[in-house]
Amino acid sequence: MNGSILIVDDSPIMRKLVRKSVEIAGFPAETLREAEHGLAALACLAEEPAALILLDLNMPILDGEGFARQLLARDDIPSAPIIVVSTESNRDRLDRMRALGAIGVLQKPFEPEELVELVSSLKEQLS
């Protein structure tokens, strides 16, 4: 895989679940990075670009939508596909995320197998 997968969620338990699911999908643990909010995620991406971002929307400091807007505005950070992994059900907000580049949405709570399937389907594109 070219680059890492960045998991952005304010819940340590959710980050652990997402991490485990991505590892089951066949991505090595050393390619996974984590951030607890959008501002921390931007700092991570400034250090090392990601091949994929798994993004919660409802977070403190900088939420997922704010993160996506700032990411698009930054020329110094390469863009990466975003999968929204969130409890968010507001259609308008999810549509805005798609307009900002989100390629998929996984509704929380989810079965780990759902995330495994979604990430596995992208594996060839990320290689």
What residues does each domain of the chain span? 4-84+96-104
- What's the pLDDT at 114? 86
C-alpha gyration radius of the chain:
13
- What's the pLDDT at 124? 65
DSSP conformational letter for 30: G
Structure tokens at 123: 């594996």
- What's the pLDDT at 2? 60
Beta bridge partners of 75: none
- What's the pLDDT at 25? 84
Per-10-residue mean pLDDT, the chain, length 127: 85 94 87 96 94 94 96 90 91 92 88 82 68
CA distances from 86 to 74, 114, 125 (A): 24, 13, 23
User: Candidates 3.40.1280.10, 2.60.120.260, 3.40.50.2000, 3.40.50.2300; correct CATH number of 4-84+96-104?
Assistant: 3.40.50.2300
Question: Cα-Cα-Cα-Cα dihedral of 31, 32, 37, 41, to 10°?
Answer: 0
CA distance 73 to 93: 19
